[in-house]
Amino acid sequence: MVKKKFLKIVCEGSTEVFIYKNKEKQKGPGNEEGIPFFNPSMELNRDLSILFGQWLVDNSKGKTILLDGLAASGIRGIRFANEIEGDFKVVINDWDEDCYKLINKNIEKHNFKNVRSCKRNINALLSEKKFDYIDVDPFGSPVSFIDSAIRGIKNNGILACTATDTATLCGVYPKVCLRRYGAFPFHSIVMKEIALRILVGLICRTAGAYDKGIQPLISYSSDHYFRTYIRIISSVSNANSSMRNFKMINSGEYIGLEKTKQDIGPIWLGKLQNKNIISFLRTKIFEKKLKTKNSLWKLLDLIEEEAEGPYFFYTTESLASILKTPLPKLDVFFKKLKKQGYMVYRTHFSPTSFKTDASLNKIKELF
Ligand SMILES: C[S@@+](CC[C@H](N)C(=O)[O-])C[C@H]1O[C@@H](n2cnc3c(N)ncnc32)[C@H](O)[C@@H]1O
């Protein structure tokens, strides 16, 4: 049993959850102090998974089975159980003894009937059981969980995956990126989009090995992590069509404003977002009690806008610096592009970034 004096309660969404008090030493993996991990800055990440889970349950036939596979305190799974409405079951798993005890304490606190805890190596669990939704939220890179997650997902199920090894994916450590993700990154203005596409690319390639295709539904970058929600479809033809979007970018090609000096990728060059799902989630934001609703709204607004845009983006800052001109007002510049019949989309990657179907020469001319 976990002694109450080691615990404190945090409230996220509309759910109270026990976590360990930081100052108390507890053994087992976790943060520096060796306690089960709880990162308050991941609240938006978890809030979005609540909205997404609601969409999934609303749009599934029969009972949806959700796995919080690397659960730590279990906060995400506990919140699923408390904040999602409908017919579903949650399995909350962590291989660490202290986490497992805490997860059970949290289940007990709420007296949930549709939640089960599990103390397994997620890779072993996913070799035995299948789920409609698998959440992989590790410390650092998710690479060691992707293969089992692809095998453990039901047809048309969702893999939700976080990567916090942002420096590696953004090209600060290209050798590490090549080893982990099998791709050459590109440390540049567009590195965050390349990073997301490397992550999705790995999922596409792994799914392909099992004759499964992918459909990314929501993908985004934040300060300290990348996150993607991907539908996994068991079908050879889907696997083949997905693999057609898994490509290299040859050296000498332009990515945004930059000419590449070496090959980049292979990366996912298909869509990263699904506009319909994103607009549904926006309608749900104000139906749930979420502290991050304003930030979530802004994020979803931007990824909905960029959903239809081409891959890669420009920033007005980099254009101004190349062209040695002052920064124009974004909306004035966008109006000029639109007036000439071009599409222009803001993106969530940076406040000055935009995607457009205009050629680089045209962009420079109008800038
Ligand atoms: C970053 S924490 C998870 C945070 C949690 N999802 C949240 O929202 O607070 C990662 C957790 O994964 C667990 N873990 C690492 N490798 C595992 C494995 N192979 N099987 C099961 N759990 C594992 C660790 O014990 C740790 O608690």
At 94-104, the pLDDT tens digits run 999 999 999 99
pLDDT band at 291 (very low <50, low <70, confident <90, very high): very high
**pTM given for the model:** 0.95
Confidence class for position 35, pLDDT limits 50, 70, 90:
low
Cβ of residue 197 lying under 6 Å from some atom of ligand 1: no
Q: Which residues of 154-169 are buried (b: 16+ CB within 10 A; e: fewer)?
A: beebbbbbbbbbbebb
Distance 32 CA to ligand 1 centre (A): 15
Q: pLDDT confidence of 10, banded at 50, 70, 90? A: very high
Q: 22, 37, 93, 126: which to mutate for ligand 1, most atoms within 8 A of CB?
A: 37
Residue burial 84-99, b: 16+ Cβ < 10 Å; e: rest: beeebbbbbbbbbebb
Determine contact, residues 296/43, Cβ cutoff 8 Å: no
Q: Is 140 in the pocket of ligand 1 (CB under 6 A)?
A: no
Nearest CA to ligand 1 atom 18: 121
pLDDT of residue 343: 97
From the list 267, 161, 266, 157, the residue with the least C-alpha distance to 215 is 157
Closest ligand 1 atom number to CA of residue 137: 6
Nearest-angstrom CA–CA distance, 257 and 313: 8
Q: Does the beta carbon of 57 sit less than 6 angstroms from any atom of ligand 1?
A: no
Atom of ligand 1 nearest to the CA of 123: 19
Amino acid identity at 121: N
Task: Say how far apart CA 80 and CA 90 lie, in whole Å.
Answer: 7
What ligand 1 atom has the least distance to the C-alpha of 99? 27
Nearest to 136 by CA among 157, 156, 109: 157
Decide: 138 in ligand 1 pocket, CB within 6 A. Answer: yes
Could you give the C-alpha distances from 243 to 209, 275, 308, in angstroms and in order? 10, 22, 20
Quote the ligand 1 centre to 73 CA distance (angstroms).
9
Q: What is the best residue among 19, 46, 95, 97 to mutate for testing ligand 1's pocket, by most ligand atoms within 8 Å of CB?
A: 95
For atom 9 of ligand 1, the residue with the nearest CA is 38
Ligand 1 pocket check for 139: Cβ under 6 Å: yes
Q: Tell me, what's the pLDDT at 33?
A: 44
| Whether pLDDT at 205 is above 60 | yes
CA of 141 to the centre of ligand 1 (A): 12
Query: How, if at all, do strands 153-163 and 15-20 pair?
Result: unpaired
Predicted confidence band of residue 34 (pLDDT cuts 50, 70, 90)? very low
Cα-to-centroid distance, 94 and ligand 1 (Å): 6
pLDDT at 22: 67
Nearest atom (ligand 1) to Cα of 121:
20
Ligand 1 centre and the CA of 23: distance in Å?
20
Question: Would you state the pLDDT for residue 1?
Answer: 64
Q: Is the CB of 281 under 6 A from ligand 1?
A: no
* pLDDT for 20: 87
Q: Please report the atom of ligand 1 found closest to the CA of residue 29.
A: 25
